[in-house]
Each structure stands twice: as structure tokens, then as C-alpha cells.
Structure 1
Amino acid sequence: MSARVLRSGLVVLALIQLVVGAWTLFFPASFYNDVPTVDWTPPYSEHLFRDFGSTTLGIGIVVAAAAIWLERRLVIVALLAYLAYSLPHLVFHAHHLEGESSTLSAGLLAALILSVLLPLALLALVLKPSPQPTVT
């Protein structure tokens, strides 16, 4: 596996966080009303959603920086920060799937599982001892 694979994975994770973070920070009511499953656990709180959006945006910035510089320590910290969000998010939703549709619940669960597996795979890649370093 190469630096290209690592960088590509980091870019995907960063884009997800940056889009979700910006949407939630700047348009919290839209995020609450328009993203399926978010309104399954009311009530809506603009304060909470703006805080979530800014935090998500911050994680996205750190992951984007890791994708740009590919410095080993920065990549590890960025992936751990991503997992600090995505793993509890998966666990919460796995226990709260009683929404409108079983298809939507299954899709949500699949996406959340991938949101944990991708950073874990990238973390394994960057932690793997290699005779030729893929990151600096």
C-alpha cells in the first residue's frame, strides 16, 4: 500500500467531516430537518447542532492537514480523533435504530460501520512497519 492510498482515504474522511461540519454549523435547522434519522432523537437544539458542526469541522481540518502533509504522527492523531467521534456514533445508532424505515436504518448502520472501518484500516496502514516509509 502506498502513500497514495493513505492520502486518498484521508481525503475521503476529511471531505465527509468538512461537509457535515459546515452544513451543521451554518445551517443547523436544515441538517436536523433534511438528514434522515437525525430527527429520530428530538428535540432540536440550535446550540447543540452548531457546537457539533464546529467540532466536526475541526476534525475535518485536522484530517485534511494529515492528507496534505502525511506526517506520520499527524496522520495517527487525525485518525484517532476521527475514531473518537465515529466509534461512539456507531454504537449510539446501533442501539437506536427504531426509526421510520428498516431500509434507512440498515443503510445508516452500514455507513457508520464504514466510518469506523476506513479509519481503522488507514491506521493499520500507517502503523505497519515498512522497509520503505510511506509517510514522513
Structure 2
Amino acid sequence: MTAKTVATVILALNAALVGVWAGAFPLSFYRDFPWPGAHWVSALGPYNEHLVRDVGGLYLALLVLSVAALRRPVLRTTAGGAWLIFSAEHFLWHAFHLDVFPRFHQVASMVALSLPLLLAVLLVLPGRAAAPEARGT
């Protein structure tokens, strides 16, 4: 299994977890994400069911793209680009809104948000060129 395959699987699992939780159980997601007592979402503003369900839908769409990239590796760069755009914006927004959290949660959230960003970068990096015999030349 290649590093890009592993990265795509991790991104797909992340998308499935967040997507189903936010989409199907928005109030629980708002109150409990990423684990009961952490309050990473609720600390940032009032509950908005529509917005939380939309976040779930976004992650489920990224899940579909990630699964497609697993089935058709030619799509990995495209999936990586989509994840990169979303993850960079998501990371930067949270980086500027850490003041509502205690230090542990500031660090934990930045580590958690950096993982999909780094995996997305891996997916958009060019791969190794195939050996001439593998290309049929």
C-alpha cells in the first residue's frame, strides 16, 4: 500500500466520521465534538442546525471524492486539491480563533487540523515517474 493510498484512506475515514456525526446528529456534534467535554464547536458560537448539517454534507461529499480516488488513483491529485483547499481554510480560521480554548485544546485542535492538511499536501505532490518498462516503452 502506497503512502498516497494510506493518506486517502485516512482522509476518507475522517470524512465519514465527521460527515455522519455532523449530518445525522448535529446537536451532538455541536456539543460534543471531538469528544464529550471538549466543546470545540460550541465554544465558537451559538448552535445553528442548518450550518452543522451543511458541514456534515461537505464532509460526506469529500468522502465520496476520497472513495472515488481510492478506486481510481488518477483522481488522487484532484481529491488532494479539494482537501487542501478546505483544510487550509479550516486550519487558518481556527488558528485565529484559539483564544476561547485552554492551552491543551489549542494545541490538540491545531494538531488535529494539521493532519488532513498534511495528507492533502501529500496527495497533490507529484508521484514518481513509472519506469520505462512499466510504461510499455
TM class, shorter-length: 0.7 to 0.9
In structure 1, which of residues 56, 59, 66 is the aligned counterpart of residue 62 of structure 2?
59
Question: 1-side partners of 2:128 and 2:5: how far apart?
Answer: 18
What is the deviation of 1:41? 1.3
CA contact (8 A) 1:14 1:60 kept: yes
In structure 1, which of residues 29, 32, 50 is the aligned counterpart of residue 30 of structure 2?
32
Question: 2-side partners of 1:16 and 1:23: how far apart?
Answer: 11
Which runs of 5 or more structure 1 residues have no equivalent in the other structure? none
Question: 2-side partners of 1:50 and 1:114: how far apart?
Answer: 23
Superposed CA deviations along residues 44-91 of structure 1, whole A, max 9, x for unmatched, are: 100111111011101111111101221x2x111111111121110000
TM-score with structure 2 setting the length? 0.85
Structure with higher Rg: it is 2
Within-5 A mapping of 1:63-74: 63-70=66-73, 72=74, 74=75
Question: 1-side partners of 2:27 and 2:84: how far apart?
Answer: 26
Question: 1-side partners of 2:45 and 2:80: how far apart?
Answer: 30
Q: Which deviates the most, 21-30 or 76-85?
A: 76-85
Pairing 1:15–2:13 present: yes
CA contact (8 A) 1:7 1:68 kept: no
CA RMSD of aligned residues (A): 1.8
Which of structure 1's runs of 4+ aligned residues deviate more than 4 A? none
Which runs of 5 or more structure 2 residues have no equivalent in the other structure? none
Question: 2-side partners of 1:131 and 1:68: how far apart?
Answer: 19
Residue of structure 2 in register with 1:103 after alignment: 104
What amino acid maps onto 1:61 in structure 2? Answer: V
TM-score with structure 1 setting the length? 0.86
